[in-house]
Structure 1
Amino acid sequence: METQNGFWTSDLNRRPEVRKDFVSRQAVKFYDTTLRDGEQSVGVVLTPGQKLEIARALDGLGVGRIEAGFPRVSADDAEAFRLISAAGLRAEVWGFGRAVKADIDELLRLGSRSAMIETPTSAIKLKAYGLTADEAKRRAAEAIAYARERGVKVAFFTVDGTRTELETLRDFYRNALDAGAEELVVVDTIGACGPEAVEFLVRQVREWVGPQVPLHFHGHNDFGMATACAVAAVRAGAEWIQGTINGMGERAGNGDLGEIGMALEGLYGVPVALNLKKIRTVSALVRQAAGHPLEPWKPVVGENLFMRESGAVASQFHIPEAIEPFSADLVGASRKIVLGKKSGIDSIAIKAKELGIALTAEQQQTVLAAVKRLGVEKRGLLTDAEFRSIVERVDNPIS
């Protein structure tokens, strides 16, 4: 077992035949798109005030760039962008727009100094938009040049880039750079690539554009591979990873920034520019604002991660590294024993000690049997009050 900085991971991760070299071991930076792509989750509507609160939390998390929205979508989106831009955050505030002059004008009206400009690039997306590749390239070049002439920093976002013919994608990227784009995004719009393909494509783009152009990766989770794909993109040289809190987004969602950050640090030894001790707090804030519950077993932020009901596991509770791959302290969580159908005698002993209750060995057995019965009846966990009530009945049996 490898023990390092609160991670208790397998030694196999470090074997040379397993761990491929990363292009860089510099800290990976994060571009958060919760307020734009994340809000595209079905049924989610965030108010300008909620977006400002989330942006402040993201800033505290250490996110380097916050995509404050797509202002031309609605007056509320524009107001949210204005509030976030005026909040004095340390993070860079970015706007999003299509390769359309009106979208750029709205960003300019709001004082945006950095913009993500998108255009479709794959044959199927161009067909869906009724565009030819040449027309899309022309529009992209005009929008990028227009923004750059007005002092806006531009990153070029290729919609459905991973399903675009390589030569066509290369031409789109070169066209964007010639027009003044300073950064490029490799975009897996519908989660259509596995990690090996993402690594290949990011390396390919790096060869096309040279070492000086910052590269981003933006992935979706349709096959449950977004975190693995983000790690592969970093291995291939992506400096920026785009994603959302809790992985929220259209369909199966976006890459989850917390999961990606933990995987990079814990499994690959790659530092990340995030204060992961705050990730669960930010996750809860976004979850509440969006009105979407999370699976309790969700990696990094799920409520079950450091909660133990099984008696067999409770017997090992005093040695965290025996039952967990990383310390709860790393993500600002607390460890606890809970009681229910699957509890064991060690569970009773730990809970009793936690609550300052003295029980004999015989009483522990009686309490355990009652706890298991109530857990089955409730089909759930016991509260501390219910546990105390059981103990009182054991201490004072009805004659």
Structure 2
Amino acid sequence: MAGVTKSQVFIGDTTLRDGEQTAGVVFTVKEKISIARQLDAMGVHELECGIPAMGEEERDSIRALVALGLSARLITWNRAVVPDIEASIACGVEAVDISLSVSDIMIEHKINKSRDFVKEQLKRALCFAKQNGLYVCVGGEDASRADSDFLIELMQIAQTNGADRFRFCDTLGILDPFAMFEKVGRLRAAVPGLDIEVHTHNDLGLATANALAGVRGGASYISTTVNGLGERAGNAALEEVVMALKVACGIDVGIDTRRFQSVSRLVGRASNREVPPWKAVVGERVFSHESGLHADGVLKDPKNYEGFTPEEVGLKRHIVAGKHSGTNGIVESYRQIGIPISREEAQELMDKVRSTAQRIKGPLAPMDLVKLHKRRGVSLAA
């Protein structure tokens, strides 16, 4: 992305807010503190940490996070109404997102109001927040289905009244990256003085791609969650967005990616949604190689088949013995369990390895390899 630098892209994480809104997910205060500390330690710039208007228990958990004195900015989610903002102020946070329904379908069929009502609602809530010295992100719920001219009008009102940024929400996850680029680009051109954040959902599997397209269109903030946790199909995954920016776009946002594996497992356990082994970037087996050509290529030089190293994201490489293994892969599989064999021995074992994998419908475990090696020794002695 020509012209975009590290200092111009900021990562916000909403695992503790939108992530916990996943149906059936509840974090304890202890879990929230652990997640927040890990995200802060790895350098995430902002943490959306809850919804104060939910009640005193939620406010207590937010106060506990504020008391940690993290480097990351803590921001809360609020409806664009004064009582919600007052609840946030009572928690001790210094930044708020004030959310408005901005598409005509939601204005008419969710809040049963008019565009004029939304504009006045924005002015009242925003002015109150700024009078209290808060950093304010104006959240445009369902912005992806809203009229662009109306969004521009709202952004102009927001800028005039002191807002710090505007959150463009693809609430239903319905955009493709080309539409995201065009929509954000138009808003950026129309209101150049107001930062834009993209908040993308994964209903079509495009959340990460749409987040990157938003940056290409001119957004400077990206909203993410660990493991892509979130309502319905989830949000843009923190680990995917950061690595995609780094590897595909040449943008290093200053986050310690070596901590991804640790925070991913933590959130997986806390949410009772364990990380699939094939999950992009952080899955335990995404650096596994079985196919003869691939395993041979990786063993000669990992760059042949890996766009980034497993160590960059806290993982390890695995050479798997299975149906598609070649000679070098079998040699390496035995080396991994402490049994050195020659290429000639691997060639002799290859048929047995492949037939065993076919029979068990999967890769060979270390004990399977040991048994085959022992049987081979017996057959040679005979």
TM-score, with structure 1 as normaliser: 0.88
Aligned pairs (5 A) from 1:62-77: 62-77=43-58
Which structure's relative contact order is higher, taking Cα pairs within 8 Å and 6+ residues apart?
1
Provide the residue aligned with 1:329 in structure 2. 311
Equivalent position SS for 1:393: helix
RMSD: 2.1
Q: Contact 1:24 / 1:235 at 8 angstroms: preserved in 2?
A: no
Match for 1:179 among 155, 158, 161?
161
Structure 1 position 264, deviation (Å):
1.7
Q: Which amino acid aligns with 2:316?
A: S
| Contact 2:78 2:97 (8 Å CA) reproduced | yes
Q: Distance in 2 between matches of 1:303 and 1:186?
A: 33
Is the Cα contact below 8 Å between 2:43 and 2:254 reproduced in 1?
yes
Per-residue displacement from partner, 1:123-167 (whole Å, max 9, x unpaired)?
111121212111122222212212221222111001011211122
Alignment of 1:5-84 (within 5 A): 21-22=2-3, 26-84=7-65
The match for 1:309 is: 290
- Residues 183-223 of structure 1: per-residue CA shift (max 9 Å, x gap): 21122111222222222222222233233x22211111222
Displaced runs of 4+ in structure 1, greater than 6 A?
none
User: Is 1:208 paired with 2:163?
Assistant: no
Residue pairs, 1:221-260, within 5 angstroms = 221-260=202-241
In structure 2, the CA distance between the partners of 1:183 and 1:348, relative to structure 1 (3 Å rule), is same
Counterpart CA distance in 2 for 1:296 and 1:148 is 46
TM-score normalised to the size of structure 2? 0.92
- What's the counterpart of residue 327 of structure 2? 345
Partner SS for 2:118: helix
Whichever residue aligns with residue 45 of structure 1, its letter is V
Question: How far, CA to CA, are the matches of 2:306 and 2:5 in structure 1?
Answer: 29
Cα contact 2:20–2:27 (8 A) shared by 1: yes
Can you give the 5+ residue segments of structure 1 that lack an aligned partner in the other structure? Answer: 1-19
Q: Deviations over 1:198-253 (max 9, x none)?
A: 22222222233233x22211111222222222112212221111111111111221
- Please tell me whether the aligned partners of residues 6 and 253 of structure 2 are also in contact (alpha carbons under 8 angstroms): no
Show structure 2 runs of 5+ residues with no match: none
Task: Tell me whether 1:104 sits opposite 2:102 in the alignment.
Answer: no
Say if 2:96 and 2:136, in contact at 8 Å, map to a contact too. yes
CA contact (8 A) 2:264 2:275 kept: no
Instruction: Identify the residue that residue 272 of structure 2 maps to in structure 1.
Output: 291
CA contact (8 A) 2:11 2:223 kept: yes
Q: 1:196 to 1:361 in 2, by over 3 A?
A: closer
Query: Is the Cα contact below 8 Å between 1:48 and 1:77 reproduced in 2?
Result: no
Percentage of identical aligned residues: 34
Matched residues, number:
379
C-alpha distance 315-182 of structure 1, shift in aligned 2 (>3 A): closer
Matching residue of 1:6 = none
- Per the alignment, residue 300 of structure 1 pairs with 281
- Specify the code of the residue in structure 2 equivalent to 1:104: I
- 1:123 corresponds to: 104
User: What's the secondary structure of 2:133's corresponding residue?
Assistant: coil
1:144-159 matches, within 5 Å, as 144-159=126-141
Counterpart in 2 of 1:383? 365
| Pairwise CA distance, 1:102 | 2.0
Residues 47 and 76, structure 1, Cα contact 8 Å, conserved in 2: no
Q: Structure 2 counterpart of 1:324, which letter?
A: E
Paired residue type of 1:256: A
How far apart, in 2, do the equivalents of 1:27 and 1:342 lie? 45
Q: Which residue of 1 aligns with 2:122?
A: 140
Q: Which residue of 2 aligns with 1:170?
A: 152
* 2: CA distance, partners of 1:346 / 1:21: 41
Match for residue 274 of structure 1 among 224, 240, 255: 255
The separation in 2 between residues aligned to 1:333 and 1:151, in whole angstroms, is 43
Partner of 1:188: 170
Contact 2:277 2:283 in 1 (8 A): yes
Q: 1:77 to 1:385 in 2, by over 3 A?
A: farther
Task: Tell which deviates more after alignment, 369-378 or 186-195.
Answer: 369-378
Deviation at 1:323, TM superposition (A): 1.4
